[in-house]
Structure 1
Amino acid sequence: MKFKLRPAFYFLIPFLIGIITGNYTSIPVFWLWLSILICLIGSVVARNRKRYLCYILLHIAIFTCGMLRLELATVPLIPHHFYDQPVSFTGKTTYQPERGEVWEACYVVGQVQLLADPSQTVSTKVLIRFDEPIPLRYGRRITLTGVLHQPDTKRNPGGFDYRAYLSRQNVSGIISHQGLLRLGEQSGFPPLRWIEALRLRTERTIDDAYVSFKEPSTDGLHAQLLKGILLGKRGDVPTETLDMFRNSGTFHVLAVSGLHVGLVAMFCFVAFSKFRVPMLTFRIPPKIVSLLTIAAIIIYACLVGFRPSVFRAALMASLYLFARIIDRDADIYNLLAVAALALLLINPTQVWDVGFQLSFTAVIAIVYFVPKMENPIRKLWETPEDDKSNRLTRYRKSALKWLVLSYLATFAAQIGTTPLIAYHFYRGYPLGIIVGPFAVGLVSLIVGVGMASVIVGFIFLPLAKILAVINHAIMFIFLKLIGLFGQEWGIMTIAPPTLGLIAVYIALILGITHWRFVYQQWKTASLIGLSVVAMWVWDSGFHEQGRLLEVVTLDVGQGDAAIVRFPDRTTMLIDGGIQRSYYDAKRQKQAEYDVGKRIIEPFLNSNGIRELDLVVLSHPDIDHGGGLGYILQNYRVKRVIGIADVQLDSQIHRRLRSIAKERGIPYSFPYAGEIDLTGTARLNLLHPIDAASTDLMDDNKNADSLVIKLSYGEVDILFTGDIEAEGEKLLITSQQDLRSEILKVPHHGSRTSSSVQFIDAVRPRFAIYSLGQRNQFQLPHREVVERYKERDCKQLRTDQLGAITVKSDGKRCWFRFSVLP
């Protein structure tokens, strides 16, 4: 087993390690520049005396260059005091071809000016969200006023870090348009303006050729699908269709990537090679064919936008064809390293982009594994040079080769990307191995016929409609295939793998691939295997938390949701945040926001939790019970408390009761007493006290809130729902022990709760508020905050700190916040 180190890797590996190291260190730019200079001078001095020292210093210089490049790329461009302030903006729109003709939002570069102090300006790139869609183009000058916001960071474990995502695109803020909007003349780089116009014309041609009056819904879906496959425009594809692609493991065909660039390059290369001038024997020379294909690849990359996968594939294909032009061999690993190095030089933060990681990992897996899997079965389609078999036999063998290699490429890509998909999305798509090769084949046909129909449509639309009929048939079969395999039963929910587990996975795959080496060099292979297993064991021990209680108050906006994990891994969910449907005026369709799906599910999946031992509904308000419906429907729940077996005047209660009955989940509405759940901690229900003092049929659902005291060793935590002053008084007069070190503040800090007597009875050291940023109720109320402050109680708020995690060993407590204060 030999490994040939390609020249580009000499630069890529230390540069990449430097970027990753720079993310965890902070060294002033001056010292980085000085280190690079010293290392370069030292390598020049040592090049003729000590060659190994020269190489070491050169690699250290490249490593430091990686740190320097990251440091220069992550300098904040907007002062913090600009955020949440009225601003004016003057600048130009950037190139963003995926937005179409009417834009709801756009990236712009220009000057941001504080309206309160016009002398303060900053040049930056921001995202503008308009209050209504407007027609815009690349390079259009724009002047407007609005409020500048800082993008949200990851506010909950398992959530999406929108700030980091925008930062990777050099976007520092979001302006919500309010008031003035003035559009000026269009400028910008002329070739990009021409390509943007070409894309818009392409979209119109697809609509004209593929949408008919007879079947507008089906044809419209096919037109949207073709624009998604060919141009990467997924926004118009229905959510149900997108879910089918995700579930079947074929979502990548709707994200323009190396597959699409490769297909476009192949079709263009074949078309240029076969081109003939009528009545003449003229044929385009091979080098000119390569040059024209490079031009087509660059135009297509600009047409769909230079996302990492497209940039990688376009650069690799262009370099490969350029090598043909200059009569040089092109090494695929070297091309891959050059593409990665170019991307990281342009934007080093791309190394944390999921698309970057998946794209390069998939290609590496295909290039490495496919030749090794292909060799034993190559004889199935190979024909000797003197073979005189008929054309049908050759076609049959070519088709077999294409089918087998398509399967092997899909299988290899899945082998390579499975750990990354599990780590980022907590999912596995085993059906992708089955449906993948057929999907790739059908997508190849859709792209080929789609390109032909668009090019013909530019010249003669009726002929393009004939080609569209062929593509309609292919897409009909394609959607049926995706629909068959795109059900939820095809998804595997996976806990995110640790570094040690990924190492075991890689070692296992390489061991199977190089089984001959393992057999012949079994001592060496055993030593490597034992080392990897030891790494896994140590890594598992490092992640083991021991006998700790963990309570996570999730940031669900204006609502409540908390997850408790006991030392024996028993899990309890208290409330589920909001769930509501609304009409999205911008997109002109119904939309749904469900905390259970958006926030609680990612948290549970990121922690490998598929079973909940107890779900608690404190009271049936929409901001507490709305998201529980999704959880009850999609997770194994052993028991629910807080749902009375009576018909209440509450839509949330009726819905949750119906789901619990349908899924056979035991439910009840208990009164004060001990809750039997785990032997590692005590759970006491303090309120409602008894049936006599509780009226479930009245309109005040807050008065019926379940109040639970969790005791673990010497640490007590009190969960209070939305209990108000009257309920607090009942608790005090019941003479139950309310004393708790940590208090979940009642009713989000409303003045109707947290009475002086109640706070004095609880005597909390820490008070946790669950509330939304800039909420319309202006919670917490000032007088409530002052009450806790007067008693030296540390106050923690989810609107400021994101999710708040408390860990305790029964004597001490440790706090961790998703957003640093």
Structure 2
Amino acid sequence: MKGYWYVPALGIVSSALSIIYHSNWFILVFFIWLLVLYYDRRLGKLITFTSIALSIFFYFYIPNLETILHTEETNTAHETDLAGRIVSPINESSSKIDFELKEYTSNKKLLIVYYKNKQEIKHSLKFGATCNIEGTPELPSQSRNPGQFDYQHYLLSKGITHEVVINSLESLDCSGSSTLNKIHTIRTSLINYTLDKLSPQTAVWLNALVLGDDSQMPEDTVDLFQRWNLSHLLAISGLHVGLIVGLLYFLLIRLNILTREKAQWVVIFFLPLYALIAGGEPSVWRASSMVLLFLFINKVQYKFSVTDVLSMVFIMLIFLDKYIIYSIGFQLSFSVTMGLLLSKRWLAQTNVSFFSILKISFLSQMVILPLQLLYFSTFQPLSILLNVIVVPYFSFFVIPLMFLLLPLSLFAGTLIPYIETLFNWIHEHFISFIYFIDQISYYPWVIGSFSLGSTIVYYSILLIFLKKLELAKLKQSFIYGCFLTMVIMAIALRPYFSPVGSVTMLDIGQGDAMVVELPYRKGVILIDAGARMSFEDGRYTPGVYKQIIKPYLLSRGIRELDALFISHEDSDHMGSLPFMLDNVEVNKVIVSEYYEFDEQLSRLLVKAETRVERFETDKEIMVGGQSFYVLSPNQDKQNSNENSLVLYTILGGKSWLFTGDIGKETEKEIISLYPNLKVDVLKVAHHGSNSSTGKDFLKQIIPAYALISVGLNNSYGHPHNEVITTLEEQNVVLLRTDKHGAIQYYFKDDDGTFFTYFP
């Protein structure tokens, strides 16, 4: 098996891919490849048999999340008494307390959540405690739109099937704890200690980089690091583990405290403890396990390659946690590490530190590119260069200092203020430098995600490209590098060669947002961009834009809107506009001649260099060669709803009418002005309120489809039964976001089909 542990690891990967993509072709191709190597006498019986056996075992061992979800959806939840054991640390923030409970009867994991009130809550919850809980297990909320974060899938990927929200801590009856609770208590005590003894700026970075707690990290800093693919520096990984092991060796051996052999035993006992204290993320366990395995192998004087050790750790971690394969951190961590190991000879060809770091940065970004686009939909090419500056700064200054600062605060407290002052001054300027780079050079690739086929092609070419680099065949490597670039460019340009267009009514709750994508990417148009309002101050909140509209646009490779139609001034139709102007290039905003912008929004539009165009009734608007006709308002009705911009267009062989929030009187005016108006698809006005969608209006326009954008379980009772009955009497096919999630119409030429996010 020596030298060949990567083969069964690849077998497990093929099993996982077969489960995730619901295709046994992955494991079948692996078996064929395995047998070819065996008959070619390049693999022995032991490695071949072991690889097949592990592939089959993990094929049945790794859970299928969709199967689990389907099973759980068939079970009806009801209030019950739950008994189980706490199997996670107690996570506490300013707004809530949550933890994982493994139920004794079903052996399932539940997420227990308690939302705090304004009063300070004290509890005695402990890891490993036995609890009795009164509550109703419910399925977590799921994604309702393409590109939206799926909380339900996220919890399932951690083995959590249900969520239980309790109204009072009195619903809990917990007692006892486990040995691991002491370790989690130590972690909590250390986090609180740093917050108490150090300045807030220093404590935030120390807790994130040493203790794995980034909950106090400013949101804008987290966003900055995500935008520039620097998030790996905020998550404890091999870099951090390597530094702490090096620091331990220096203190124990170089200072003649212990012999090398005894120092190794200290590291062996310390690393698992540190992995738990640091939060136990997959990247921490991967790095710690590799070091531990190397030390054990060294003690038995048996040599394995780094690739063998990484493969063993990979197999071991999946065996210990069958859900870990779904962890983004696990996937990214092992992908980058394996990529660096496979390219170690090429990396070793450079002795200059700058170019070595540049190579590592380039390789790391290229290896995770498909995953980066799959999960985050964006990629910043310039991050390769920025990593060359930022990684050494963190590796040689910030992280070592944070590891030293924690023990120093215990024994040399008088020096801490001076060290902190110096650190905060340097670090503040360095972070400001990254913000400066962000302001002048942030031009990310927004190209959507890789398809499965293009991912296979990409990695195949990447492996050949790296092999040619390793062999110093520069001309051939340049050719394959061009092929690699062509694959990326083909994915980026795919929409511009596609004859397929689409209309998507996003489910933003009680509001409107419809995205029109014209064939060949001739134009991208957004009709309304609603948002929710804060009950505390009455301001628009960015949640709808950040959680729904922006992810959808990024998933489709959209970073520029040719036009944004705003029907009227209500927040549920235009509230996301201020947030969009900061992130999306909006070429123009189109409104009626009676629309009134407030002073703040007017300033934002001028700052974003977005022009505003006003149109009156009977005017034709051209966007990307697509005609939109304004049917209303024809006069100022002194009411924002009745002044809604009503648009008529033809897309995919169907006529569409977008009605904003008009009422029945305006509907009567429209059919009076346009007696021959016929519509195939009606965007039902005012979310299905009975103030709109009159019988006379429907009888004249005779729609075949009616789309209602309405919030799930909304307090307005929309859509009203009267409207539903009227539509059903007209034999209209009704599609509504509260039941179907996002509604999409894909078309080519004069033909198209409706799809719903939920079946």
> Counterpart in 1 of 2:115?
131
2:126 matches 1:152: no
1:163-214 alpha-carbon deviations (Å, 9 max, x no partner): 1111111111222223573444443431x1111121122123212331xxxx
2:614 matches 1:669: yes
> Counterpart in 2 of 1:576?
529
2:157 matches 1:178: no
* Amino acid of the structure 1 residue aligned with 2:216: D
Measured in 2, the distance between the counterparts of 1:130 and 1:707 equals 45
Measured in 1, the distance between the counterparts of 2:50 and 2:270 equals 38
Structure 1 residue 556 displacement after superposition: 0.9
1:340-373 alpha-carbon deviations (Å, 9 max, x no partner): 2223333444334321222112222333445423
Structure 1 residue 674 displacement after superposition: 4.2
> Counterpart in 2 of 1:451?
403
Structure 1 residue 645 displacement after superposition: 7.3
2:158 matches 1:165: no
2:236 matches 1:256: yes
Aligned with 1:551: secondary structure?
A: strand
Structure 2 CA distance for partners of 1:267 and 1:331, relative to 1, 3 Å: same
Structure 2 CA distance for partners of 1:92 and 1:242, relative to 1, 3 Å: same
Measured in 1, the distance between the counterparts of 2:95 and 2:58 equals 37
Structure 2 CA distance for partners of 1:248 and 1:803, relative to 1, 3 Å: same
Measured in 2, the distance between the counterparts of 1:635 and 1:540 equals 18
Of 301, 315, 323, 1:341 maps to: 315
* Amino acid of the structure 2 residue aligned with 1:91: G
1:500-543 alpha-carbon deviations (Å, 9 max, x no partner): 76645873685377348574996x997x7899799889989998
Equivalent residues in 2 for 1:690-769 (5 A)? 690-691=634-635, 694-695=636-637, 698=638, 700-712=639-651, 714-769=653-708
Structure 1 residue 312 displacement after superposition: 0.9
Measured in 2, the distance between the counterparts of 1:369 and 1:7 equals 17
Measured in 2, the distance between the counterparts of 1:448 and 1:530 equals 40
Structure 2 CA distance for partners of 1:658 and 1:510, relative to 1, 3 Å: same
- Give the conservation status (yes or no) of the 8 Å contact 1:100–1:200: no
Measured in 1, the distance between the counterparts of 2:512 and 2:528 equals 6
Of 52, 56, 63, 1:64 maps to: 56
1:99-126 alpha-carbon deviations (Å, 9 max, x no partner): 35878232322449xxxxxxxx855212
Of 386, 402, 409, 1:434 maps to: 386
Count matched residues. 735
Structure 1 residue 679 displacement after superposition: 6.9
2:735 matches 1:793: no
Aligned with 1:375: secondary structure?
A: coil
- Give the conservation status (yes or no) of the 8 Å contact 1:151–1:162: yes
2:734 matches 1:783: no
Equivalent residues in 2 for 1:387-402 (5 A)? none
- Give the conservation status (yes or no) of the 8 Å contact 2:645–2:660: yes
Structure 1 residue 243 displacement after superposition: 3.3
1:10-64 alpha-carbon deviations (Å, 9 max, x no partner): 211112111211234399xxxx9xx9xxx9xxx9xx99x9998997666444333
Aligned with 1:296: secondary structure?
A: helix
Equivalent residues in 2 for 1:278-317 (5 A)? 284-317=258-291
> Counterpart in 1 of 2:101?
109
Structure 1 residue 626 displacement after superposition: 0.2
- Give the conservation status (yes or no) of the 8 Å contact 1:290–1:325: no
Identity of aligned residues (%): 24
Structure 2 CA distance for partners of 1:348 and 1:431, relative to 1, 3 Å: same
Structure 2 CA distance for partners of 1:702 and 1:793, relative to 1, 3 Å: same
Measured in 2, the distance between the counterparts of 1:285 and 1:626 equals 66
Structure 2 CA distance for partners of 1:557 and 1:331, relative to 1, 3 Å: same
- Give the conservation status (yes or no) of the 8 Å contact 1:94–1:139: yes
> Counterpart in 2 of 1:15?
12
* Amino acid of the structure 2 residue aligned with 1:176: V
2:511 matches 1:559: yes
- Give the conservation status (yes or no) of the 8 Å contact 1:23–1:70: no
> Counterpart in 1 of 2:294?
320
1:130-170 alpha-carbon deviations (Å, 9 max, x no partner): 13155333234444444543223332222212211111111
2:204 matches 1:242: no
Structure 2 CA distance for partners of 1:738 and 1:518, relative to 1, 3 Å: farther
Structure 2 CA distance for partners of 1:488 and 1:353, relative to 1, 3 Å: farther
Equivalent residues in 2 for 1:390-789 (5 A)? 408-425=359-376, 426-428=378-380, 430-431=382-383, 433-434=385-386, 436-457=388-409, 460=411, 463-467=412-416, 469-486=418-435, 487-494=438-445, 495-499=447-451, 503-504=457-458, 507=461, 511=465, 514-515=468-469, 517=471, 519=473, 546-569=498-521, 570-581=523-534, 592-642=541-591, 644=593, 648=596, 653-678=598-623, 681-688=626-633, 690-691=634-635, 694-695=636-637, 698=638, 700-712=639-651, 714-789=653-728
> Counterpart in 2 of 1:265?
245
Measured in 2, the distance between the counterparts of 1:641 and 1:591 equals 20
Measured in 1, the distance between the counterparts of 2:743 and 2:13 equals 33
Measured in 1, the distance between the counterparts of 2:727 and 2:382 equals 53
2:201 matches 1:221: yes
CA RMSD of the aligned region, Å?
A: 3.8
Measured in 2, the distance between the counterparts of 1:241 and 1:644 equals 41
* Amino acid of the structure 1 residue aligned with 2:468: H
Q: Which runs of 5+ in 2 are unaligned?
A: none
Measured in 2, the distance between the counterparts of 1:443 and 1:582 equals 45
Structure 1 residue 492 displacement after superposition: 2.9
Structure 2 CA distance for partners of 1:712 and 1:199, relative to 1, 3 Å: closer
Q: Which runs of 5+ in 1 are unaligned?
A: 113-120, 211-218, 277-282, 379-400, 585-589
1:605-637 alpha-carbon deviations (Å, 9 max, x no partner): 222222212110011100110001222343332
- Give the conservation status (yes or no) of the 8 Å contact 2:508–2:711: yes
Measured in 1, the distance between the counterparts of 2:338 and 2:226 equals 23
- Give the conservation status (yes or no) of the 8 Å contact 1:749–1:779: yes
- Give the conservation status (yes or no) of the 8 Å contact 1:247–1:490: no
- Give the conservation status (yes or no) of the 8 Å contact 1:549–1:809: yes
TM-score, with normalisation over the residues of structure 1? 0.80
- Give the conservation status (yes or no) of the 8 Å contact 2:115–2:167: yes
Measured in 1, the distance between the counterparts of 2:246 and 2:470 equals 36
TM-score, with normalisation over the residues of structure 2? 0.86
Measured in 2, the distance between the counterparts of 1:591 and 1:308 equals 38
4+ residue runs over 6 A deviation? 49-57, 528-545
Structure 2 CA distance for partners of 1:663 and 1:101, relative to 1, 3 Å: closer
- Give the conservation status (yes or no) of the 8 Å contact 2:592–2:644: no
Structure 2 CA distance for partners of 1:180 and 1:261, relative to 1, 3 Å: closer
> Counterpart in 2 of 1:209?
197
2:759 matches 1:816: no
Structure 2 CA distance for partners of 1:301 and 1:738, relative to 1, 3 Å: farther
Structure 2 CA distance for partners of 1:337 and 1:613, relative to 1, 3 Å: same
Measured in 1, the distance between the counterparts of 2:417 and 2:344 equals 34
Measured in 1, the distance between the counterparts of 2:553 and 2:53 equals 43
Structure 2 CA distance for partners of 1:762 and 1:294, relative to 1, 3 Å: farther
Structure 1 residue 253 displacement after superposition: 2.0
Structure 1 residue 258 displacement after superposition: 2.0
Structure 1 residue 478 displacement after superposition: 2.3
